[in-house]
């Protein structure tokens, strides 16, 4: 089998990658929502992989892997990797999880990082009210993540939160020392959410990046009695192109509250310091940023070897991402907690993809399916209606 074409379009919010072969089998991958600007980058790799056998996934990846980087520049490479596995599975007539070594669980736990209800404010009461709505969500999530501090509109909306000028565009991000009032406010919001969830549902918090070491330690220690699932990306994370493992280690060693990072990190080599230095308790790579699903599995196993837990990121990965996350998460070792459940946006994504269970999430879990490849396929006739101008031949 040979690769004859590599295509990329944008369907709704998610760029979609299609690898075409000379045997009539195509493989699909995708990128996080909003990554339309990665489209030319995907196509940049086309010349490198044309003519290769897509079922030799690693051999193809060796041709392009070194020309990627931290989020968002690892996502094009990652999407191609996922599309290669999709082809390899379809060619073998096996679900991708079988090619990765087989599943060790029949259903995978997911956590809520994407089923959202609009926040009406940023006081403890607002957080409690919003958390109550998420607690009642039909998916029955057993873990819910919420953004606080610098990973929320708090800097621009809560007066005197920190000793700095708030940037509200979301592009630059905020960073600095919190005021005493600001720190108390954040803690009060977390306490209000925990009062809603009690000990029935786990609460994870996406916090930054942007916290200083003393504030990160103060927050983590103050929250110790609440048994928070994890504090995510306090120091670095999101689009920060480095890890700062030594600084994370200082925070982790100071508290029993689990510290988490990893969603923006590209390749296993960039997890080495975090894992070997025991700098965090949980890593959370995204299959569409780390370099693909085999890379994510390798990091999960290396983390497990070091007593570190795994909770993959995925909020913006769309329905192709959901399929990839289900396949790989079925195979991860027992340090696996849950992956971040992505939704299709806009809603018509659910009309153009076949193969997902209905309902997708039951009691906070997704049943692992057995169809070949990623196990989801496009209803091409329905999907064609949403192709952008100029991409009408994407499925041809």
The region of 43-51, 100-108, 203-211, 267-275 touching Mg ion under the rule CB under 5 A is 203-211
The region of 65-73, 85-93, 206-214, 352-360 touching Mg ion under the rule CB under 5 A is 206-214
Sort residue 28 into left (φ over 0), alpha (ψ -120 to 50) or beta.
Answer: beta
Q: Among residues 11 and 311, whose Cβ is nearest to Mg ion?
A: 311
Q: Among residues 155 and 373, whose Cβ is nearest to Mg ion?
A: 155
Q: Among residues 100 and 311, whose Cβ is nearest to Mg ion?
A: 311
Smallest distance, Å, CB 283 to Mg ion?
12
Smallest distance, Å, CB 214 to Mg ion?
22
Spatial distance between the Cα atoms of 18 and 112, rounded to a whole number of angstroms: 28
Smallest distance, Å, CB 213 to Mg ion?
19
| CB neighbour list of residue 52: distance below 8 Å, 6 or more residues apart | 2, 3, 59, 60, 63
The region of 169-177, 198-206, 265-273, 356-364 touching Mg ion under the rule CB under 5 A is 198-206
The region of 230-238, 340-348, 362-370, 384-392 touching Mg ion under the rule CB under 5 A is 230-238
Q: Among residues 232 and 295, whose Cβ is nearest to Mg ion?
A: 232
Spatial distance between the Cα atoms of 277 and 280, rounded to a whole number of angstroms: 8
Burial label for 334, CB within 10 Å (0-12, 13-18, 19+), is: exposed
Q: Among residues 29 and 113, whose Cβ is nearest to Mg ion?
A: 113
Per rule CB under 5 A, count of chain residues that contact Mg ion: 2
Query: For 70, phi and psi rounded to 5 degrees?
Result: -55, 160
Nearest 5°: CA angle at 178, between 173 and 182? 105
Residues in 106-165 that interact with Mg ion by CB under 5 A: none
Could you tell me the end-to-end alpha-carbon distance of the chain, in angstroms, rounded to an integer?
19
The region of 202-210, 342-350, 361-369, 384-392 touching Mg ion under the rule CB under 5 A is 202-210
Smallest distance, Å, CB 203 to Mg ion?
15
Q: Among residues 209 and 364, whose Cβ is nearest to Mg ion?
A: 209
Smallest distance, Å, CB 114 to Mg ion?
11
For the chain, give percent helix, strand, coil, nearest 5: 40, 15, 45
| CB neighbour list of residue 120: distance below 8 Å, 6 or more residues apart | 126, 129, 130
Torsion of CA 136, 137, 141, 144, to 10 degrees: -80
Contact 17, 83 (CB under 8 A): yes
Q: Among residues 147 and 372, whose Cβ is nearest to Mg ion?
A: 147
Smallest distance, Å, CB 389 to Mg ion?
33
Smallest distance, Å, CB 133 to Mg ion?
21
Residue of closest CB approach to Mg ion? 206
| Both structure tokens of 390 | 């100029």
The region of 84-92, 180-188, 225-233, 382-390 touching Mg ion under the rule CB under 5 A is 225-233
Q: Does 206 sit near Mg ion (CB under 5 A)?
A: yes
Smallest distance, Å, CB 151 to Mg ion?
7
The region of 78-86, 101-109, 227-235, 297-305 touching Mg ion under the rule CB under 5 A is 227-235
Residues in 231-250 that interact with Mg ion by CB under 5 A: 232
Spatial distance between the Cα atoms of 338 and 315, rounded to a whole number of angstroms: 12
Three-state SS across 29-91? EECCCCCHHHHHHHHHCHHHHCCCCCCCHHHHHHHHHHHCCCCCCCHHHHHHHHHHHHHHHHH
Smallest distance, Å, CB 233 to Mg ion?
5
Binding positions for Mg ion, rule: CB under 5 A: 206, 232
């Amino acid at each position: 089998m040979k690769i004859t074409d590599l295509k990329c379009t944008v369907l709704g919010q998610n760029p979609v990658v299609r690898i075409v072969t000379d045997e009539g089998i195509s493989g699909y991958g995708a990128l996080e929502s909003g990554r339309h600007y990665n489209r030319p980058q995907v196509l940049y790799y086309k010349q490198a992989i044309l003519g290769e056998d897509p079922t030799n996934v690693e051999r193809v990846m060796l041709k392009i892997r070194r020309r990627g980087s931290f989020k968002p520049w690892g996502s094009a490479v990652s999407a191609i990797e996922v599309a290669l596995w999709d082809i390899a599975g379809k060619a073998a007539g096996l679900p991708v999880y079988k090619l990765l070594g087989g599943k060790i669980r029949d259903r995978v736990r997911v956590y809520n990082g994407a089923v959202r209800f609009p926040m009406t404010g940023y006081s403890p009461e607002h957080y409690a009210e919003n958390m109550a709505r998420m607690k009642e969500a039909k998916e029955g999530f057993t873990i819910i993540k919420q953004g606080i501090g610098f990973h929320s509109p708090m800097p621009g909306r809560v007066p005197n939160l920190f000793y700095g000028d708030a940037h509200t565009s979301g592009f630059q991000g905020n960073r600095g020392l919190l005021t005493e009032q600001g720190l108390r406010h954040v803690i009060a919001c977390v306490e209000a959410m925990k009062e809603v969830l009690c000990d029935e549902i786990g609460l994870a918090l996406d916090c930054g990046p942007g916290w200083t070491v003393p504030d990160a330690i103060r927050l983590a220690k103050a929250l110790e009695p609440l048994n928070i699932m994890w504090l995510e990306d306090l120091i670095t994370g999101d689009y920060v192109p480095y890890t700062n493992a030594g600084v994370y280690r200082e925070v982790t060693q100071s508290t029993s509250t689990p510290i988490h990072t990893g969603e923006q990190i590209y390749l296993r080599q960039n997890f080495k310091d975090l894992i070997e230095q025991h700098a965090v308790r949980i890593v959370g790579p995204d299959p569409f940023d780390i370099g693909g699903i085999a890379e994510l599995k390798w990091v999960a196993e290396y983390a497990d070897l070091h007593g570190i837990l795994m909770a993959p990121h995925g909020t913006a990965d769309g329905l192709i991402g959901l399929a990839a996350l289900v396949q790989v998460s079925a195979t991860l070792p027992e340090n696996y907690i849950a992956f971040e459940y992505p939704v299709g946006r806009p809603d018509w994504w659910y009309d153009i993809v076949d193969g997902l269970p209905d309902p997708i999430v039951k009691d906070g879990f997704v049943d692992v399916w057995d169809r070949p490849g990623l196990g989801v396929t496009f209803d091409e006739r329905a999907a064609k209606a949403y192709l952008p101008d100029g991409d009408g031949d994407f499925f041809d």
